[in-house]
Amino acid sequence: MNALIYLASQSPRRRQLLDQLGVTHELLLPGPEEDAEGLEALVAGEVPEDYVRRATANKLGAALLRRQARGLPERPILCSDTTVALGGDILGKPADAEEALAMLQRLSGRTHQVLTAVSLAWMEGQSPKQAQALSISRVRFAAIPEAWLRRYVASGEPMGKAGAYAIQSQLAGWIAEIEGSYSGIMGLPLFETAGLLRQAGLDI
């Protein structure tokens, strides 16, 4: 089967990574009537791995309903969610510049985890199937000067990004060590994603 799927994500980085795999995809994005941010809401006491798995499963469920409501052709649907964890604390998308700066100050000079879950739904004959994979990477920042962090926050780059940074941004100059999946830190781990697509019978 040719790799033609729906991607339920607004992230240009995930589109770029799917292009790298040679996977043809169409966007299946939330409409204005949907509470997309609510799908990523934190639950008190939830550990980072459980959170990112649940958020991704929620996104997939919403995408399946969206495809059905819009009467779109049946195709596999791919969803992903990324979170940053420092110890047991989940560092999501900052609400404002002040929160972004506080997150980056905490990450400076320390090692944190980046967790990305990927979920795929497809039809196998007449049977609906779903599968999920998880990528966990570790990133160590050198100590970053306060003045530099303030300039980075003022650039607007941290907004809308888990942990208030993007690994492909200028902040990469302060990353001392990475253990794990670079593409997973970007937002779509290619090894795990390719495995899910092959499980669904797609030729990539």
Q: 146-154 vs 97-107: helix axis angle to the nearest 10?
A: 140
Q: Rounded distance, CA 99 to CA 45, Å?
A: 21
Q: What is the CA radius of gyration of the chain?
A: 17
Beta bridge partners of 57: none
Please report, in angstroms and rounded to a whole number, the separation of the first and last CA atoms in the chain.
9
Q: Is 19 a catalytic residue?
A: no
> Which residue is catalytic, options 50, 81, 89, 96?
81
Strands 77-86, 111-124: pairing is antiparallel
Q: Rounded distance, CA 159 to CA 179, Å?
A: 25
* 183 Cβ contact partners less than 8 Å away, ≥ 6 residues apart: 17, 20, 189, 190, 191
Task: Show the DSSP H helices in the chain as ranges.
Answer: 12-21, 48-69, 97-107, 146-154, 182-186, 190-199
Active site residues: 81
